Amino acid sequence: MSAPLLDIRNLSASYGSAQVLFGLSLELRAGEVVALVGRNGAGKTTTLKAIMGLVPAKADRLAFRGRSLIGLPTYRIARLGLGYVPEDRRIFTDLTVDENLETGHRAAGAGRSPWTPERLFRLFPNLAEMRDRRGSQMSGGEQQMLSIARTLMGNPEAILLDEPSEGIAPVIVQMMAEAIRAMKAEGVAVLLSEQNWAFAAGISNRACVIERGEIRFQGSMAELMANEALRAETLGV
């Protein structure tokens, strides 16, 4: 088995004096979808932010494609090919759809077919009809699509996706699932933070259960499905 794309060992992070992550370890391999599931406040969002350098973090190892991310500024981490879609979407509301896509644009690595606005509009047909619309005039679901599309414009090798199903209509959640499958088909690895268990279970290869800033379980989705006691205790499902 090859080395993991994203390798996290013993990650700790805190906001001021409040520690949130306590020695968390996980791996993401090329082309797989890993669900990071856990209750509200368990540390899912902080994990993703710590990887991106948006929260000060310490770790024995925090590496992407073999390069350590510790101490790198956020923009350098992104340039290594790690995309980030934050939970509150963070669309530039003054900018149009096309301009939002432009902010994410980065050249693709050698030998890969780059994401273009046209390809992304096939993935998210809703966006194609509103290319000149400002972010402020879009629904939550449309903003979520745009946020993902914007990150894909950077042609990342892996994406950190923070609660893409939160607060959007069920029909669009379906669309998100399709989009994640399409990314996977393109070979983009996804680390998905989710509270929507059904959504996560439907698209992920593996799962990590996080509780109070630590990983309680790491294994295949089938194993977690089978372990009802653990699910009831840590996820309430």
What residues line the site for another protein (CB under 8 A)?
Answer: 52, 54, 73-75, 78-79, 84, 86, 90, 92-95, 99-100, 102-106, 150-151, 154
Give whichever of 51 and 207 is closer to another protein, judged by the CB atom. 51
* Minimum CB–partner distance for residue 99 and another protein (Å): 5
* Minimum CB–partner distance for residue 210 and another protein (Å): 21
Give whichever of 100 and 234 is closer to another protein, judged by the CB atom. 100
| Distances, alpha carbon 170 to alpha carbons 78, 141, 164, 176, in Å | 30, 10, 12, 10
Nearest to 140 by CA among 114, 166, 108: 166
∠224-228-232 over CA atoms, to 5°?
105
| Distances, alpha carbon 131 to alpha carbons 25, 97, 111, 142, 178, in Å | 40, 5, 29, 12, 21
* Minimum CB–partner distance for residue 90 and another protein (Å): 4
Give whichever of 93 and 139 is closer to another protein, judged by the CB atom. 93
* Minimum CB–partner distance for residue 168 and another protein (Å): 19
Single-letter residue type at 116: T
| Distances, alpha carbon 155 to alpha carbons 16, 101, 160, in Å | 34, 12, 13
Give whichever of 39 and 106 is closer to another protein, judged by the CB atom. 106
* Minimum CB–partner distance for residue 80 and another protein (Å): 9
DSSP state string for 19-58: EEEEEEEEEE-TT-EEEEE--TTSSHHHHHHHHTTSS-EE
Give whichever of 99 and 166 is closer to another protein, judged by the CB atom. 99
Give whichever of 5 and 207 is closer to another protein, judged by the CB atom. 5
Decide: residue 127, CB within 10 A, 0-12 exposed, 13-18 middle, 19+ buried: buried
* Minimum CB–partner distance for residue 136 and another protein (Å): 10
Q: Residues for the chain: how many in total?
A: 237
